[in-house]
Amino acid sequence: MANKSQQQAYQQLAKKHIPKPDYLGNSLRAFLVGGAISALGQGVTNFYLSTGMAESEAGAYTAITMIFLGALLTGLGIYDNLAKIGGAGSALPITGFANTIVSAAMDFKSEGYVLGMAAQMYKIAGPVITYGVTSAILAGLVKWLLWG
Amino acid sequence: MDYLVAFLVGGVIVTIGQIIYDSTKLSMGHVMVLFVVGGSVLTALGLYEPLVKLTGAGASLPVSNFGYVLTQGVYEALLESGLPGIFSGVFRLAGGAIAAAIVFGFLFALLFQPRK
């Protein structure tokens, strides 16, 4: 039986050997990939604005277009390669949200089209929608209670 | 100029997520949830809308924008129809993106096979 100080010494030793993430490199790659996706989104928004759309409408169409692209590139296997480089830079834009749906759906295809694919595709998107809707409604309730 | 602003702001927002991911034990799914709730809180504080107005896609492309459109939809409906609006308004602005994610997600997953 190892005593407490031995255990602590072992844990400290083990901690030293866990590889530290490359903070600077990861951040830089995330910045470049996330920035590039945002700039592309700006291009899509500018295109819709040039057709005479209102700002909010152009924003909604941009989101739909970027989701389409994210889903398509995931299907083609390109987005997952981008994710290896970009990390949060490819996961956190709205294209990354589409990526979580398509990749989960493809992974569970073999378990059937209803309880496999259609159920499992919301593995990450489900929590995102659940927490988003709940916090939005709570924010609305707080506003109503405070200001009517 | 608007491209540069979108690049820089979008880049900074996702870098915050990368730093959270690298320095905690949270999964990327947790970070996404954190961003959506964060976007909702910043909207409630009146901060996210000016950020979108100033920086365009830089603020509207990251998933934090999802929290913004959900909350903003609730606020708009609250003004028009009172308390029931907090339920009916939540998908008003975000509905298109959610519908697109469900349909395109499902169809592209049907069409393509996973790679090893």
Of B7, B17, B60, the CB nearest to A88: B17
Mean pLDDT across B18-27: 96
Confidence at residue B84, expressed as pLDDT on a 0 to 100 scale? 94
**A73 vs B: CB within 8 A:** no
pLDDT score of A2 more than 70: no
Q: Which of residues 1-20 of A touch B (CB under 8 A)?
A: none
Residue A44 lies in a domain: yes
Residue B102 lies in a domain: yes
Domain count, chain B: 1
Domain count, chain A: 1
pTM comes to 0.91
Residue B116 lies in a domain: no
Confidence at residue A78, expressed as pLDDT on a 0 to 100 scale? 96
DSSP state of A148: -
Residue A6 lies in a domain: no
Residue A132, φ and ψ in degrees, nearest 5: -65, -50
Residue A82 lies in a domain: yes
pLDDT score of B115 more than 80: no
The residues facing A93 across adjacent strands are B62
As a three-state string, the secondary structure of chain B is CHHHHHHHHHHHHHHHHHHHHHHCCCCHHHHHHHHHHHHHHHHHCCCHHHHHHHHCHHHHCECHHHHHHHHHHHHHHHHHHCCCHHHHCCCCCCHHHHHHHHHHHHHHHHHCCCCC
Mean pLDDT across A1-27: 83
| CA–CA distance, B45 with B39 (Å, rounded to integer) | 10
Residue A68 lies in a domain: yes
DSSP state of A18: S
pLDDT score of B50 more than 60: yes
Residue A49 lies in a domain: yes
Residue A4 lies in a domain: no
From chain A, the residues in CB contact with B44 under 8 A are: 139, 142-143
Residue A102 lies in a domain: yes
As a three-state string, the secondary structure of A76-124 is CCHHHHHHHHHCHHHHCEHHHHHHHHHHHHHHCHHHCHHHHHHHHCCCC
Q: Looking at CA atoms only, how far is residue A3 from chain B in angstroms?
A: 28
Residue A85 lies in a domain: yes
Mean pLDDT, all residues of chain A:
94
Confidence at residue A146, expressed as pLDDT on a 0 to 100 scale? 93
pLDDT tens digits, one per residue of A43-94: 999 999 999 999 889 999 999 999 999 999 999 999 999 999 999 999 999 9
pLDDT tens digits, one per residue of B97-108: 999 999 999 999
Confidence at residue B18, expressed as pLDDT on a 0 to 100 scale? 97
Confidence at residue A17, expressed as pLDDT on a 0 to 100 scale? 80
| CA–CA distance, B27 with B83 (Å, rounded to integer) | 36
**B89 vs A: CB within 8 A:** yes
Confidence at residue B87, expressed as pLDDT on a 0 to 100 scale? 96
Mean pLDDT across B30-58: 97
Residue B43 lies in a domain: yes
Q: What is the ipTM of this complex?
A: 0.95
pLDDT score of A5 more than 60: yes
Domain span at residue A39 reads 24-122
Confidence at residue A1, expressed as pLDDT on a 0 to 100 scale? 55
Residue type for position A112: G
| CA–CA distance, B90 with A71 (Å, rounded to integer) | 24
Domain span at residue B39 reads 2-111
Q: Looking at CA atoms only, how far is residue B70 from chain A in angstroms?
A: 6
pLDDT score of A10 more than 90: no
Confidence at residue A68, expressed as pLDDT on a 0 to 100 scale? 98
**A116 vs B: CB within 8 A:** no
Q: Which of residues 83-102 of A touch B (CB under 8 A)?
A: 87-89, 91-98, 100-102
pLDDT confidence band for A145 (50 / 70 / 90): very high
Mean pLDDT across A107-132: 96
